[in-house]
Amino acid sequence: MRNILYILIIFFLFSCNKDDEKNILSIDFSYFPHNIGNTYVYDVTEINIDKRASVNDTNNYRLKETFESSFIDDEKNICYRVERYKMDSKDTLWSVLNIWYITISNNCVYKTEDNYRYKKIIFPVKQQNTWNGNSENTKEFQEYTITTVDVLETIGDKNYNNILSILQNDKENLIEKQYSIEKYAKNIGLVYKKHIDISELEPQPGIPWEQRINVGHIYIQILK
């Protein structure tokens, strides 16, 4: 009897593992291709404003990201090393910017940016899915939400048939504004990123926030 029970337990666990493996393999990761050698070049605009210091700078440059190699991390997951390069408008050569890391584990995409690990995407993608993007770092809770899936959209000068949009932050009051969004195209990857962090706005109701910035930073990244 004990032998039969033991065999049944082993069979059950084996079946569950097989089912889990099939579920993972059946997930469509096409919004986030992660092949070694994949290279993306973006046009970037950064705006820094500090009225008290008479700062109102706009920097335009190109950013290149390459999936350079992969390795097995301490948790036995495949981790991708992403090399990042920058080219200012006046330059003709790429300069090394930094290294980021990407891991796909438990149907999630994790990206380590400047030593902070973020949960970027949960698969399978479904509109209105939400999660804590900061669950893997020491920052406060930040709700990420899938707002669109498979929509037509023009970004920069390109038309895309299947865009996935993930809203990462959207907070605004009379004196401050934070907004972050990333957009992914099927079979391409990240095509658009926008981050707004305005820590001080002039409290003037009825005036657009763009005209009330005292201190803030705006970042826009578009795939070429």
What pLDDT, on a 0 to 100 scale, did the predictor assign at position 1?
53
Say yes or no to pLDDT of 16 above 90: no
If you average pLDDT over every residue of the chain, what do you get? 90
| Structural tokens at position 224 | 């070429």
Span between the terminal Cα atoms of the chain, in Å: 66
Structural element, H or E, at residue 99: strand 95-105
CA angle 115, 105, 37 (to 5 degrees): 75
Phi-psi category of residue 150: left, alpha or beta, with phi > 0 → left and psi -120 to 50 → alpha: left
Structural domain of residue 64, as residue ranges?
A: 2-223
C-alpha dist (Å) from residue 61 to 54, 64, 76, 147: 22, 10, 37, 29
Say yes or no to pLDDT of 41 above 70: yes
pLDDT, average across residues 75-91? 94
The DSSP call for residue 71 is E
The DSSP call for residue 156 is T
Judge residue 4's burial from the number of C-beta atoms within 10 Å of its C-beta, 0-12 exposed, 13-18 middle, 19 or more buried: exposed
Tally of structural domains, the chain: 1
What pLDDT, on a 0 to 100 scale, did the predictor assign at position 147?
98
What pLDDT, on a 0 to 100 scale, did the predictor assign at position 91?
86
C-alpha dist (Å) from residue 72 to 35, 110, 224: 15, 14, 31
Say yes or no to pLDDT of 52 above 90: yes
Which of the two residues, 1 and 219, has the higher pLDDT score?
219
pLDDT, average across residues 176-180? 98
Of 8-17, 106-115, 125-134, which gets the smallest average pLDDT? 8-17
Say yes or no to pLDDT of 14 above 60: no
Q: Rounded to whole angstroms, how far apart are CA atoms 79 and 47?
A: 32
Q: What percentage of the chain reaches a pLDDT higher than 70?
A: 88
Say yes or no to pLDDT of 6 above 70: no
Where residue 2 falls among pLDDT bands split at 50, 70, 90?
Answer: very low
Say yes or no to pLDDT of 203 above 50: yes
pLDDT, average across residues 8-16? 43
Q: Rounded to whole angstroms, how far apart are CA atoms 143 and 150?
A: 21
Dihedral sign (CA 126, 129, 133, 135): negative
pLDDT, average across residues 209-217? 97
| Structural tokens at position 199 | 């820590």
Query: What is the biggest distance separating any 2 CA atoms in the chain, rounded to whole angstroms?
Result: 83
